[in-house]
Structure 1
Amino acid sequence: MSITAHQVVTLHYVLSDVLSDGSTRVLDDSNERHKPLEYLHSHDNILPGLERALEGKKVGDELSVTLSPADAYGLRNEDLVQEVSRASFGSAELAPGSCFQTEGEAGPQIVTVLSIDGNNVTVDTNHPLAGHTLRYQVNVLDVREATRAELAKGHPLPPGTEHGKVEDRKVL
């Protein structure tokens, strides 16, 4: 079965950042966690560039996909670096490099603390991987039809669930 819209795809991946000299730095490896990624194809569950590359692939296929910043998390926007009041963080411990998830105009966003100067905190609301070229090494493990409940929810559901609730199971 080939990967097409409305199918649940299970895969292992290694995500790397492609550095300016062409070398790579591994950012995430599902193999190391022994936990493959499962997603619902064509429902905006993964990066669009990666999803396009997976279209038509089959179980057992292995591929390498390099995504430019525009096809991944976008280009860096220096207008998204701003100074805010320390009070905006309540009692949270702050240090350069600290990351927080906040609600932005377009939904949840990650905020990274760049520097702290007294009561002023400089933050960056660009995605941490904005401006980065990314490389995915992917191994397709499984492809199956999504259930009606998964299509309604827009993502895969754990086995034994219907409409998001665990079904009663009888022990035989």
Structure 2
Amino acid sequence: MPSQIVTLTLNGAERELIARPSMTLLTALRETFGLTGAKRGCAQGGCGSCTVLLDGRPVVSCLVPVVTVDGSSVETIEGQADGERLSDVQQAFVDGFATQCGFCTPGMIMSATALLDRNPDPTRQDVIEAICGNVCRCTGYEPIINAVLDAARRRRQAASDSEEREPAGAER
């Protein structure tokens, strides 16, 4: 099969690449776009270190042929921070000491972000299920689970604070 042009929205910006049929999304992110946050771990979809969001859903990018993402939206760990300001999930990981070596952290954060985007008030079991495809050999998972629950609390508090600042009778 010949190479093809793939257009995608990458961290909010439209991007193009010429993709070989065998190229994975992970390879495109790392080698074409220079986004090295998603890690090449097992290269078999079992460790979750390459997790990114594809149209809002967490996927292991090492198994996704890049030609299949034409027209899709891809979010990586590099797109989570707003300049120097970390996302709520990233900040909760820092504050909760939920990282050690850091190899799994980008994938964990992306899985957690997807969970909180669809479920703002997860239970501990919801968090465990959301990160079950992400392997961490350092933390023992407790700090990670607690950080995700803390990020959820922070998001709910920020939403509540935002509603309180909105003037009465303002249209939503």
Q: What TM-score results when the alignment is normalised by the length of structure 1?
A: 0.23
Higher-Rg member (1/2): 1
Which structure shows the bigger proportion of residues in strand conformation?
Answer: 1
The structure, 1 or 2, with the larger RCO (C-alpha pairs under 8 Å, 6+ apart) is 1
